[in-house]
Structure 1
Amino acid sequence: MSVQRLRWYHRLRITNAYGQLIALIFLPIMILSCVGASLVLIETARSSRAEQRNAAFAILARYQPTAQRLNLLLDQPQQHEKIRSILQNMLNESNLLRVAMIDREGRPRISFGYGSNLAWPVFEAHRETFGPLHSDIGTTYGLRAGYTSDGPVWLVVDMDNKPLQLARYRVWLVLAITGLLTLLLLLLCLNFYSRRWISPIYEIRLQLQRLSADTLGQDIQINGTGELRLLQVDLVTLLRRLHESFEELRQHTEQTEDDLRKTLDALEIQNITYRKARDQAITANQAKSVFLANISHELRTPLNSIDGFVNLMARKGNLSDQQTIYIQTIQKSSAHLLALVNDVLDFSKIDAGKLVLEQAPFDLEQAVFDVIDMLSPLACEKKIDMAVYYYEDMPRQVNGDALRFKQILTNLVSNAIKFTPDGDIIVRARLEDSVDDQHLVHISVQDSGIGLSGADRKRLFESFSQGDPSVTRQYGGTGLGLAISRQLVQLMQGKIGFEDNQERHPTDKGATFWFTVQLGKVAGDEMSWPSLDDWNILSCIQHPASANVLRGYLSQLEAQQQEAQSIPDLFGRLIPFEAQRHAHSWVIVDSGGDTEALLREIRTRYYGALAVYGYQMAIDPDILKRYDAVALYEPMSRSALIAMLQHEQLFSRSQPEFSGQGLHILAVDDHLPNLMVLEALLNDLGVEVTNAHSGIEAIEVLTLRHEQGRAPFDLVFMDIQMPRMSGLEATQAIRLLEQEWNTNQPLPIIALTAHALNDEKENLLASGMNDYVSKPIQIDQLVRILKQWTNPHHKSEQSNHTPDYLAADYPTAGYLTADHDSAFPSDESTISASSSNFYPDDFSPEEFYKPVSGAMQQELQSHILDWPESIKLSNGKADLATELLQMLVSSFAEEKTLLKVLMDKQDYAELEQRTHRLYGATRYIGLPTLQALSRAFEKLLADQRKSGVAINDSFIEDVEMYYQQLVEAMTDLDSEAQKILNPG
């Protein structure tokens, strides 16, 4: 639209003086004249009509009284002639054509004058006066003249329009004469303007058009006046000066041409000399390249011999420590020297033009990962994470020189590792274009290293050059790698470059090097991958790029994936993941940190297929074998991932087979439901169980058994928090009794705890306990504990607290020993993670550390009772789950009363014990809401006790709020439980 508007502007643009004069003066005057004439005509016509109207109504007003007196005669037709004779004088009025008296129906009752037989115009009957109205002979006006027997009557007249027309003609004549005079005046002004200004300008133009380089000195005729004459004089002076300057320039040009001719002759002579020198330099350079190629090739033979014999000496193994160090130094120096010679050889071949690229099919993905796997030990040594984004549009098979492709990628990746002190390296491989029979492949290597300064970038791809001279000393190298890579990329019809990561984002470090190469297409190179929609993977990888790669691969393979953001989050997901496990379930974890401790904790919750992601050098095969896991090496490839997931050994685990025949266990717990579940689980394993409801009762049972000379128990399960005597105190008392009895084999005591806090580790160790299990107790945990602590080999070593971390055929976890504090999870969330499946998906018990909001309370209403989980916690026994639920619900009335009494007494220590007891009871039944509330209530009371701060109103309000929420949860649970306990 704007272009079209601009085009019309150029068409309407007026550039000559006459056109501008007309456009700027004549046209505005004409427009103003037309507007003025129109206004005059309009006002004149309005004035004439007003004058006619006034005259008409004046006539009507004068004869209205007479017409009113004659109204009575209108009903008498014989009186019409008399009426006409009386009103005949009206025709003597000026410009009056005819007169009539008209009734309301528009019928003339009497009419006389010119054209009296013609029809009168229609008017509105309700008006007193009307007009002007157009009629066939003039303009009609009317005035009500009174009433007759059948209604009102109007006196109507027709006025002649000829006076109006004559007045209009007179106005037109005056306007025409005025316009003609104005036009003549404008023409005179135009003539004067033309002779005064325009004509001299045109004459100057014509004289300038006739000028040339030879006639600049000629005189110009001056015939202007005023300012225009001064302009002409200045123009003549300027032309004379130009003529003089032109003459000087001509002379200078002739002199310059002579000098240039002499210079060209001298340059021709010098070019001949330079051409001879260039030919000699090319010959010398070729000789140098041939020499370098030959000497580099000759150097490789003795170097290979040196390296081979050094390796033979190292393999004999009969060297002293000092000789071994010497041999290792020679190996490193030889390898470094051989790499330098190879670089020089490649550089000399390229420089001599003797390097010929091979064209053969090769696996592109395998080539990329061959390079990465080869260099991964260097990255592992520097603790640098690596990841490869190998996009799905990449071809499988290509035609090209695989060795040179790997050489380019090796140079870039090794440089990235060399110049990256910490952080990560990310390689991206994507298909940039695919036309005809060629693939344009784009490879980039992003590091988080020292980066590049602006001044060093220009020399980066030059031979024998590095970004900073000090870099050579600090990091080593000849500076040939990037130069060789650039030349190889050019031979492969591609490009190479780099970018500073800070230019992309101010907080990023390092640089990104990239290159593109042309590789030929191979028939049938389309990437096809299996569909793994039946696979279910739970992963926890700390490196974001590696996690993204795994997510992308699994999404492409249509596998189901859950991602844990942290180790506690992973532990929280393991038990529900184990519950839903099938033949195609996998858990993939990062090898960072204490891998053995991590796998140990995982195996307490999950028994299916397990993979550890990390560098090959960083993963201990013995640990993998010990915990029945496999390795997924960093960086991860799609092929390796598929091969691992489709491994024949699916690591399917059923419930560990174990026979507890002959074992006798003492179970100590003050809460009957806990004892019932523990006894049921142990009985299923064939274990005989003796129950004790307190620490004092446990000591009495043990003392009585010793006095009777009966065989001691094989193991004791000891609850931690019990009234009168806690589990810690009972354990210490048992250890003292063992010293008095001179027991050779200490009794294994296993702690039962709903949650183990970090500050309780030393207390558990100091009390003499050997291990612990978290409530709710699972059958796998019991099997592991029984295998560990009822094995005679382990019993012989219990006294020094150095247990083996493996049972006979199953990995153990979490042993409480002085030498293995790492057996404890790092925080409370880890310990209690085994019950995290009770909570809603987006809910954490930590949210209950403050009073639960109304919205959260409503959200938890749908998690009052999880009956399938209750049956699962009862080892699949519905009758046991029902009995536990019945016992818990029946205790609510007493529990509410006792909690209220303790609150009124402000006995918060006992209130904490009762809340812990309630929390422990909920661990054996699927009660997400009640479990979360009781746990949070307990923690509130424990935090207050540990802080030592005086009790304030805010704390009391929180306690009251928690109590109300517990009561509501108990009431809701009672209603839900009745549906199961009394289904009828």
Structure 2
Amino acid sequence: MLAILIGMLTMLTWHFTKSYTKDTINSLAYGLRHELLQRPILRMWNILNSTVEITMAQVKLSEYVIDRHDKPSQAERDEQLYNVMRDVTWALFSSRKALNAITISYRNGFVQAFHRDHRSNNTFYIYSDHVKPTMSENRPKDRNTSSIWYRESLDPITGEKIGTRRTIPPDDLINIAGLSEVRDGSASWHVAVSKFTDSPLLSAALPVRRPSDRRIVAAVGVTAALYSVGQLMKELVRYHSGYMYLTSQEGYVLATSTEAPLLRNSTTGRKLMMAVDSEDPMIRSGAEWLNKAYGDKFPINTEVHAEDVMLGHHKYYIDSFFLKLKRLPLVGVIIIPRKYIMGKVDQIGFTTLVILIAASICTLAIGCVCILILTSGISKEMRLRAELISQLDARRRAEASSNCKSQFLANMSHELRTPMAAVIGLLDILMCDDYLTTEQFATITQIRKCSTALLHLLNNILDLSKVESGKLLLEEAEFDIGKELEGIVDMFSAQCINHNVEIVLELSDDMPILVHGDSARVVQIFTNLISNSIKFTSSGHIILRGWCENYDTSGMTKLSTSQNKPHCLFKRKSKPRESIMNNDKKSNRKIILWFEVDDTGCGIDPSKWESVFECFEQADPSTTRTHGGTGLGLCIVRNLVTKMGGEIKVVKKDGSGTLMQLYLVFGMPLEGTGLQFHLDFGDHNFMVLLALKGSMGRLMMSRWLRQNGVYASLASEWNELAQILQETFQGKQSDNKDFIECSTHKAARLNIVVVDADILDLSSNIWRQQLYFLDNYHAKAKFAWILNHDTSSEIKVELQRKGHLLIVNKPLYRTKMMQILKTVIQEKSKAKDPVTRVKAISEQNSLSGLHILLAEDTPVLQRVATIMLEKMGATVTAVGDGMQVVDALKCMLGAGECTFDLILMDCQMPKLDGYDATKAIRRSEAGTGSHIPIVALTAHAMSSDETKCLEVGMDAYLTKPIDCELMVSTILSFTDKRVS
């Protein structure tokens, strides 16, 4: 109520203050406008009176001269009459410099006129020539019926003739007032237009009567320019602002305070301009408003006094006056901006309103503060109590939400990791089988890699809380960077073959074997990049390149010319990288590795090279419908690259496709452990024939072989392979002379033929004949076969039957080629798996002599863990719930024998879970001095789960799926066993 009362008082105060001030100013403004209107009126009356006086004087002189010289019986004296009239008229005309013209039009049609051109400052005498005209003729003649008109230039001071007379058309210079204009015997006014002036002319006409009979014998016309009226209007608005103009009743502009033209050009000569057509926007707007309010023809004796008229975007005062002349009513209009008169008032009114509002607000604020001060003591306790209740409720809701989220992630982790652990465990068991063929082992390896990729995805889900809080940390572990990249290429090989795209891995020889970093994030980066390339590449190739940045580049070997690009591309980044290297010399050693993902897909528009790395951004929005995706992949890649100290960019390339270029910073391992291992193949006298379908892989592999001292020849199809073999080993002529000479140069040369299964004709049984053809050269060369993931078992069986045991899967990269060459060197032609890892015999019995109690309720996982432990030499007793674990330990303690060396305890089991079972075991151990190690084996992978396991008395924590090496090392750490 107080606020409403103060507001009403404020508005009333402002209203009355402004209203009274406005009324006062409006009264003064009306007087100012009235005065401004009266001045043009006075000037107009002066011009009219002056014109009337001159006209009356000319009429009196004309009547006097005509009375003296007009003798009806003496027609020969008319010439004398005209001469006298000329002299009299000149005397009057020369004395009035403001006049434009004086004309005398006689009844018989003869015209005499004096005209003054103000622009050129010339004076003329104009007259007509009738054949002996006489003033006694009864019938009046029209003024323009003269057959000849003349114009003579006069001295503007003496009036003497200058030069010769000239013949001119009738009315060429001035408007002649005729008898028809004074037919009723009274004065007549009209506006004239001359082509020699830019201003309209005001013309007055009076009749001349013969004194004897009062008969009209001539008409006198006096023309004066309205220029002085316009000058007065300009002076008035210069001091008082606004716009003024004078029009006829029909709306023709006669004078104005602006520079807008008053006349317009037409095909028939110059014409008066209407006010509504004026070039000045304010005069045009004012005339349109008057026409809208009062019609096209202004009413006689009507005066307008309008306020707050909107013209354009501003308000104006509009006032008018009416000047009634016979046959020429005139209207004067003045337009004054409202802000000229009321601007200060409005400004002061607004300022007053602001001050009153501010004062009211201050008063209201002071009142509220006083109320708060008076009531704060009473309401403080209630407010604090309500705030405390609100905070407690909010905290309870937040904790409940956090608990629900954590429980959801924990449950999902357990439900997803349990079957995943079974899959990976069974695959690990299969991979331990020594009787697997090469193809089987490669297939199982790829399945395990895909399962591991799913496990990494699950781990990303479990890191959700860390990502949301910005606390996602990179792991620091030693890993084989080359093996990780090879695994990615192998994983995508099947997808590339299905898309008819060749995938190639090109790593330089200076790449280190081991680096320190987060291998999972590295895999995630290149998985996203290669997945993107496959998505947008329908044909051609995808190349993953990698090399080491070495500031001492003298001994650095490059595999492709494109590897020189990054040094100039990120030239402005060289100083930060140098600073990284210099700073890390004092602490951890760092290394910068460069990578490229090059494809021949649709490419990215250069304008989108930066935006594609933003969240939910794609180079072409239509690709969401065509290829799928959300636009998050490259955003995640850039964030991970940046977090690893690197940078990624899209780089311009020759040809179609996209070239992604990036560098990553890794830690260096201990001295000597991260160097690349090399073999000197040049000493073994190799000759390799690469019969590969993919052109890019064939080219890069041959380049790498030649750089390492191995001669390489190329074949892209079956006919070319067959021709080279025949010409090489049967002594036929061949275009490939280098290959023949190389193959026969040394008798002990090792000939290796790498054959891509895709060059065989698989459409029919011709491939059998082709294999039969190769049997002819089986004793002369070692054959290595490159198979696809979908190569039929029939072909594989046939290859094994024919003794082709040197087999690898696509794609062919450096490591696989090195294994082929090593196998040939070691003459292991009967080896089933040249790529199979060598098992350490010592690892087979690393847990020998240990008795382990395994608690696992899932039968599949129980079987997987049992097989793994038994393969390591341990004795395993498996139970299905926590109650059985407690009973078994009670029996062991009751017997006083240490039967079990360690317990692997699942956390979620029926009857009694792993947490309660551990508590029961620790309680039973109290006072006995014994302590059996308990290692948690659970699918829960949250950090809170590890803390909970340790709190209940467990000694260590392992997550599913089971990492065999980690499990063995953990078991040995608690049982004092070591690998021999």
Point out which structure has higher relative CO (alpha carbons under 8 A, 6+ apart): 2
Normalised by the length of structure 2, the TM-score is 0.32
Tell me which protein shows more helix as a share of its residues: 1
TM-score (norm 1): 0.32
Q: More strand by proportion, 1 or 2?
A: 2
